[in-house]
Structure 1
Amino acid sequence: MGITSGSYPLGPESGRLIVNTTRTGLGAKAGHDLTIEVTRWRGDATIDVADPAGSSVTVEVDTGSFEVREGTGGIKPLTDSDRRDIKKNLQEKVLHVARYPTITFRSTRISGTAESFRVEGDLTIVGVTQPVTLQGLLTEDRVRGSATIAQTRWGIRPYSAFFGTLKLSDEIEVRFDIGLPRGREPDGSASSP
């Protein structure tokens, strides 16, 4: 049995929300391409299998829950101290966590098929709301997809160091891989055989 129509709660217990950054500038070889996981988030997906346009999704992210999982490239490996410094800079200089404790996404239009869909919606980061489009795939009991986000559209200046010779690229990729309970009713109870 595949996914059935209904409402599904979303969060870290059901899947992963990942942010990937890349570096640019003359000093790019000194930095790292980062894989950052959002560890506290929640949402709701209402799925209409027969009519994807009748579906919707909302997600709220705790901006203080970004954890650096991996840093690739660079002259030397990413240390625990580097991870702490990156998290501190992300919270204080990029996302301004004290003032903007959440990032929200609310779909405005869903098109395509259940297997291959496009979600258009409003993404609010640091108090600024801009439209964004996610591309996704539904296979068996998993929803996977991504969106590319240009930070400057939200008024965010990409992080830079070493007098601007090392900086993060404006565009970041947000990926999601979320499991939906297969063979279960959307409210979480087991379906009858």
Structure 2
Amino acid sequence: MKKTILSLTLVTLFSASAIANPIEKETKEVKTTESTVTWKGYKVGGSHNGTISLESGALEFDGEKLVGGNFVVDMSSINTQDLEGEYKDKLDGHLKSDDFFGTADHPTASLTFTKVKSTGKNSYEVQGDLTIKGTTEPITFDVSVYGDKATATLKVDRTKYDVKYGSGIIGTAKDKLIYDEFDLVVDLQM
């Protein structure tokens, strides 16, 4: 009888302790200088690629499970990596102009997770709101998390954000026809 009362008392104490101290969501800030965002844009005659810098970012966890996140990108940091000299400067300038991302009026872009669904160990399908040039549209992409590292690949339709330069123009030089979608590959360090 004494063992039963002692067992019930211990169970009650541990249960009360667990209820009083539930697992709280943990926010892990992203190390922006150690994280990378790589972009790749496509045109009929080939492609261009480069980087863009994170201004801030964080992932939210409930225990080990990813439950949220938000990021801000410095649009003025657009940097072409596959060109050099005058051609690089021209493309970087054009991407920052109103023809593309209009960084003078829209210096940042942002992403906020709205729904996170586990798809396997360390893997998630994320739905979020992506804002570029003041326009917010939903986007779905995959994220993998391994300890203090996370990776994601996004395919973005630029026309949804009023970035329509060279989109679907028929009869122009092959160099000028630019595909509507571009890729972002994100490697995060927390």
Scaled by the length of structure 1, the TM-score of the pair is: 0.75
CA drift at 1:165: 3.1
Distance 1:79 1:179 in 2: 29
Unaligned 5+ segments in structure 2 are 1-24
2:70 maps to amino acid: T
Q: Deviations over 1:99-125 (max 9, x none)?
A: 111101111001114511111110011
Distance 2:92 2:103 in 1: 11
Q: Give SS of 1:89's match.
A: helix
Distance 1:139 1:50 in 2: 10
| Aligned counterparts, 1:149-168, within 5 A | 149-159=156-166, 163-166=172-175, 167-168=177-178
The answer as to whether partners of 1:158 and 1:170 remain within 8 angstroms in 2 is no
2:178 maps to amino acid: L
| Alignment of 1:8 onto 2:28 | yes
Distance 1:85 1:141 in 2: 37
Query: Which stretch has the larger CA shift, 121-130 or 147-156?
Result: 147-156
CA drift at 1:34: 1.6
2:26 maps to amino acid: G
Q: Which residue of 1 aligns with 2:129?
A: 122
Q: Which residue of 1 aligns with 2:69?
A: 57
CA 1:11–1:33: 2 relative to 1, 3 Å:
farther
Match of 1:89 among 94, 97, 118: 94
The two structures, once aligned, show a CA RMSD in angstroms of 2.2
Structure showing greater radius of gyration is 2
Query: Which stretch has the larger CA shift, 33-42 or 90-99?
Result: 33-42
The answer as to whether partners of 2:154 and 2:184 remain within 8 angstroms in 1 is yes
CA drift at 1:51: 4.2
2:62 maps to amino acid: D
| Alignment of 1:105 onto 2:111 | yes
Q: Give SS of 2:76's match.
A: helix
CA drift at 1:98: 1.2
CA drift at 1:40: 4.4
Q: How many pairs does the alignment contain?
A: 161
